[in-house]
Copies of this chain bind each other. A is one copy, B any other.
Amino acid sequence: MSAHIIRPLVSLDYEFLSSVVDDWWGGRPVRALVHRIFFDHLNASSFAIGPSDAVQAFLIGFVSQSDPKVAYIHFVGVSPAARAGGLARMLYEHFFNVVSAQGCTEVRSITSAVNTGSIAFHRKLGFTLLPGSGEIGGVPVTLDYAGEGQHRVLFRKAL
């Protein structure tokens, strides 16, 4: 694993990552989620693997300012070329350790109801699915969570 050093996410990473994330998502327009403020002002517990002009994987997470016991993972991306190498798991586990040391007792995250890969991945990492206001394909979802028609699965993991 020595080739995969986890380092802080920094402003310098923004240019490259904002230019590639849509491609990493197979053309789905996710760039608006990777807003520059996460690199400039909300990166105290965000991490990356690889150099700024060739990031292999990154995680944007922060401690909730509404409830400092709660940490939130906003976005995780892995370069298609680096997939299935365990980088996402490394980043999640590093985040768990860092925010736990800062006093957080739980981590939250969300995903789309259609993203069955993400749901399976979160379950493997020990996340549970929060009860929702509806169900899609046997999965509990909070209806309209991210706007009209934008249903989301809500995850929680105790630290």
Contact = CB atoms under 8 A, between A and B. Distances in A.
Interface in A87-108: none
Nearest to A14: B147
Interface residues on A, range: 20 to 34
A144 B15 contact: yes
Given A37-B72, A41-B67, A63-B65, 18 more contacts: A15-B144, A31-B147, A32-B32, A33-B35, A35-B146, A36-B145, A40-B64, A40-B66, A41-B65, A41-B66, A41-B70, A42-B62, A42-B64, A42-B66, A43-B66, A44-B65, A44-B66, A45-B65
Interface of A: 15, 18-19, 31-33, 35-37, 40-45, 62-67, 70, 72, 74, 144-148
16 contacts: A15-B144, A15-B147, A18-B146, A19-B148, A36-B146, A37-B72, A37-B74, A41-B65, A41-B67, A41-B70, A41-B72, A42-B42, A42-B65, A42-B66, A44-B66, A62-B65
